Amino acid sequence: MDRRHFLKFSAAGGALLTGCAPFQVKDTKAHVVVIGGGFGGATAAKTLRLLDANLKITLIEPKTQYVTCPGSNWLFAGITNLTQLSVDYRTLQVQYDIDLVTQSVATIERNIRQIRLTNGDSIGYDRLILSPGITFKWDAIAGYSAEIAAIFPHAWQAGLQTRILAQQLQAMPQGGVVLIVAPPDPYRCPPGPYERASMMACWIKQHNPRAKILILDSKRSFSKQRLFEAGWRANYGYGTANSLIEWHSLADNSINELHKASKTVISEFGDRFTGDVLNIIPAQMAANLAMHAGLTNPHGWCDINPLTSQSVEDDCIHVIGDAAQFTPMPKSAFAANSQAKACAMAVFNLIHQQPMSEPHWINTCYSLIAPEQGISVVGVYRLDDEKRRIIAVEGAGGVSHAFEEQISRSEAGYARSVYQNLIKNSFG
């Protein structure tokens, strides 16, 4: 770009940037605070450091270890464990000079650009990157709650609940029934419930072959459905009387009640389903912190300007990951990593008053049908011509060519390999 163009872009950029003038005088370090140490937050902090050696970067995350949701379904087939799924923040601290604050956030005081921690401390910011993840709409299913989830785990934030659910599956009586209540759109990891059913079926096929997994779905269709169903037919007798997996679409008749004593879930029209193991995955929204800070829309998600990932409510706050609406991108760890990078570039350009570069995003989600059989979905995303909306690039993306032996074996290998690199790329 020549200087004339550079100045033109700078001037245009400058006009858009005025809402969030830096507190610091020139030549002192700008301070970027990142809230949330999942894939979005970790990647944002790391990428910012790679772009700018001088910024002060703080990452606030209450946990010292993070159990990744990607890969956590593999635990049900007995091919991973929580230790293998755990990451920490040491590399980000030591190699990338990120200040780690192991505390919970109480409030975001937007008017004075300050974060109040639950221990009473406060941290000021020039720009805040919020990657807080999700919470659950507990009131969507009467009788279900955060406390009851310790008994009937959602296991949709990986960790102890994932292990409890796996133990329940393994302890299930012969010929028992697992109920997976799948959530309405939009939610974290669209293929997740179906990969989970696959991994559970893989386990019961070996250890409890008369058992059955019922997916009770509030949707009419689901991610990679054709591939999942082909894989289930090939492995688990799907479509026959002895199928290990049954998928029931309860569109317009969603599960809205749990009767815990009888381990029964009940739909709007009164259909009852009783199981031995109940995996209830409720409807979701952005984490409470985002709502309390006034950054959510009536559906509970954070609207953003996709060029910069700035909240439409606050120019100084960028929101990424599952909490943010990057429609049509799905909510996934891969997508959060991709969003974090585009966000970090925007934050860098805003702080240095440089012209914006066009953001580019990719999402890839692998799912395992069986330990050696994988399928994938890909999306390539960019801004539309007006630079206001995210579009999936036409002709690109899509699902695996077919559920075919050689391809699915390759994709199972890639699933594991991509998982490892995604961790390395996000956390150091």
Partner 1 sequence: MRWLLMWLLMTAQPVHAEFNPQSVVMNCLICHDSEKNSSSGEVPDLAGLTSAELHQALLDFKYDRRFATLMPRIAKGYSDAEIQAVADWLSQ
* Chain residues that interact with partner 1, rule: CB under 8 A: 1, 8-9, 12-13, 15-16, 47, 305, 307, 312-313, 334, 337-338, 341-342, 345, 355-362, 364, 376, 378, 380, 382-383, 386-388, 393, 395-398, 400-401, 407, 410-411, 413-414, 416-418, 420-422, 424-425
Tokens standing for residue 389 = 């909306």
Tell me the C-alpha distance between 208 and 176, whole Å.
8
Shortest Cβ distance from residue 412 to partner 1 (Å)? 9
Residue 386 backbone dihedrals phi, psi, to 5 degrees: -85, -5
Least distance (Å) between residue 349 CB and partner 1: 10
In angstroms, what is the minimal distance from the CB of 113 to partner 1?
A: 20
Q: Which is nearer to partner 1, 129 or 265 (CB)?
A: 129
Distance CA 357, CA 13 (A): 10
Contact between 303 and 311 under an 8 Å Cβ cutoff? The reply is yes
Q: At 412, which helix (H) or strand (E)?
A: helix 405-427
- Closest separation in Å from C-beta 69 to partner 1: 16
Q: Which is nearer to partner 1, 216 or 227 (CB)?
A: 227
**Closer residue to partner 1, CB minimum distance, 94 or 396:** 396
Q: How far is the CB of 342 from partner 1 (least distance, A)?
A: 6
Indicate the residue among 207 and 424 with the shorter CB distance to partner 1. Answer: 424
Comparing C-alpha atoms, which of 320, 349, 317, 346 is closest to residue 334?
320
Spatial CB neighbours of 171, under 8 Å, sequence gap ≥ 6: none
Show the tokens assigned to 238.
Answer: 């799907």
Closest C-alpha among 10, 47, 22 to residue 339 = 47
User: Which DSSP helix (H) or strand (E) runs through 8?
Assistant: helix 3-17
Nearest CB to partner 1, comparing residues 87 and 123? 87
CB 162 within 8 A of CB 277: no
User: Minimum Å distance from CB 282 to partner 1?
Assistant: 29
Minimum CB distance to partner 1 smaller for 82 or for 307: 307
